Structure 1
Amino acid sequence: MNLFRNIKDNLMKHNLSLALYSVLIAILVWFVISTTQYPSVQKTIEHVKLVQDITGTTAADNGLSLISCSVEEVTIEILGSRTEIGNLNSDNLVAYIDANNVSSSGTKNLSIKVRGTDSNINFEVQSVYPSTASVVLDKYDTREYPIIPKIPNVSVMEGKAINLGELTCTPDTVLITGPSAQLDKISKCYAASNKTLNLDSSYNLSNDEIQLYSEDAALIDQSDLTFANSNFSIYIPVRTQKTVKLSVSVANAPGDFDKNFLDFKISPEYIVLATNNSQTEIPDTIDIGKILLSDLDINYSKTFTLSTILDNSEYINVSDVEAVTVKLNNENLAKTDLTIDQDRITMSNIPDSSYEYNIITQRMTISVVGPQEIINEITAEDIIADVNLLNADITVDQFNTNVNFSCPKYDNVWVTTSSKVSVRRTKTESTTSSSGDTATSTV
């Protein structure tokens, strides 16, 4: 029994050794046959990174840079010696853009090529997928833009306003570097602060960000742009401001005339005034000018210039208004002409008694304006015409001087005629007599 068992064990050990030798010989034979009969093999490699670099190409020599690329990685098929490419993977290969023969900026559809990181390994590229990439090429440039402050969440207390004309940034410009095509899109640059404030006086504020906008007010992506400076100080000037009513006053009206009867249409009726002096009080109403009563014809209209009126004052017109039109409301008003005879023209405040003053104008025609019902009834006897010589400049014996008109009977009627009359003065004859008796004295 032991003899048979020993023979069996020897046979099994011998067969196992033969099996191992057979496997090794088969592998060796397969290797020899594959390398001699089939020396080249084809291999597919995925996830090969596409490098975003065109250095050394014609495009780069023309000052162009790769701004964007539609492809990040590719899949390739290569053919090569089994012994050389057998261990190749995506880490040993580089995909790149063929940017040779490109001299202009813009969007291009360029071929993708592949090379190995080890120049000693030879292979042939059978295919690349995708085989092309859409790329944007452009020149990098640096330009200077004015910077505009933007403070959307800043408000002011009642009676205050931000002087937008003096709202400024320091520095007031920014240098931006980036693709020329993208720089061309920039229309406005803002130093923006999103801080919420309610101010009653001027304030300095730092910006939070820079915002770029195109001509059509679209926000511009800044990912390819760099800024020489991104920190700005925003000066917010706050001043006192008030909406005031406009008015006019009437001059040279008789004492018994009711000025409140006159109704003026002022356009605009209100404007906004401001002052940088916190101690200056802005009135509720401002008088923009005086109107002579005699100038108020039935169709009176006059334009006043605010810049002239506010000149040399502390008030600043912050309304978008320069001209103010004043019109007389002539509804229910009428006008008539009357003739004043010489004997109805009086003189007052005659300067001295050494001259006699006489009006030599025989008659004068005047225009009278007032309510329709009164104008229908008024006569020349209702009008007083007076020549006041109190401040008359009398240097000759015959001169012209103004006539003042009034209507004591009606306090809402006035004369629109600026009339003059001729006055003559003559020296009065005075007899000075002195009488006295001659007294004789005797001794």
Structure 2
Amino acid sequence: MASQHYHELVFLSTLLFLSISLSTQSHETLVFPVRKDPTTLNTSPAFTKRTPLVPVRLLVDIGNGFIWVICEDNYVSSSYRPARCNSTQCVLAGPTTCNTCDGTPRPNCNKNTCGLYVQNPISHVILKGDDLIDDVVLFRSIHGNFATVPHFLFSCGANILRDGLASGVDGVAGFGRTKIAIPTQLSSVFNIHPQFALCLSSSPSSNGFIFVGNGGNYKLAPGIDVSSFLMRTPLITNPVSTIAFSFPGEASSEYFIGVSSIKINGKAVKINTTLLDIDDKGVGGTKISTVTPFTTMETSIYKAVTMAFKKEAKAKKMKSVAPVEPFKTCFSSESMKSTRVGPDVPIIDLVLASEDVYWRVFGANSMVEVKEKGVVCLGLVDGGLSPRTSIVIGGHQLENNFLEFDLATSVLRFSSSLLFRQTTCANFYFGSKPLIWEYEV
């Protein structure tokens, strides 16, 4: 069933206090199990912080530049420390304000502390000057070891930033291209390669995973080496920040790729290709998002792609039915066959660096089951006439695809659907043990 909510990832930890210590000189890859919420159809993982340690649920936004956590009320931690104005921490975080708050010192109310501009990616509320703080955070390696980071930097958010977040979610976990995003901080602390990999399960009953670190040995049952079939394409930096408020000269922390054309069943779709480039104002291009539920396209691109898809669908004798919001192109599920990569529908290719490098979208990722029984819809949404970004690849299209973001080389390594290889994001192995850990809701 399609959900009107955003795809959400949450860090949610199991409280394990006795563990093998992971050295700060370790080269191990760190991992977060990810689970899709059975009610909202949002995707969810595991995170522990503060002293004493408590579980915290966070929406994961791969393009956000840092972690922010609601801590205006009931944030209790003996290891909490605000960052003072002009300190090393504030310089590392980038442009900040210098805050003064009257009253008893508490999280998000201190004197002479630096603050960040914090944005909720769902409600788009943005606040000026929320305190930059550090606190204890617990992380886990692929081998089951645990390590404590005593001074992990993040921002302390006000209650109003909770608007639009799912129940129980207390902030955002940012994996973006900044010095205080999760991959960069962990790379520095643990001496691991600055990269992360994302593999989201489509099922509420099985884990997907986010990996941070060296990678290179991702194994999937039955005995599949993921690195053996990954394509690669450059990650593009948008020179202009894409958030609602930014400083002059500030680049975007989001991840863009260079889509050069779109094909349906191998046939090029006629579109205005200038929209696929990023102009000098930061408008245009294609980005990857975990907070956008379904891929959005600028209106003229959307119309051209859906028309081409319907033409090819007609040739496959797929029966069109009434649209179901937010989708406009829907079909009877009885008029299409099932395959191991989802419904047998026209294949969509996002052509990248060259004709030989493309992101192939099969039926499992292009089609969405909706509330009307027997109806499936093309999971694309009209993004409007003048969107900031022409194409936003959304969460549904990411499920059971493996994506590795290498921040050091600015390269994205990616697969198409793992279903094509008769496996899923739930089937990772390291050594002889599957990555299966308890998941608390």
Q: Do both proteins adopt the same fold according to a TM-score greater than 0.5, normalized to the shorter chain?
A: no
Indicate the structure whose relative CO is greater, using CA pairs within 8 Å and at least 6 residues apart.
2
Q: TM-score range by the shorter chain?
A: under 0.3
Higher helix share: 1
TM-score of the superposed pair, with normalisation by structure 1 = 0.20
Higher strand share: 1
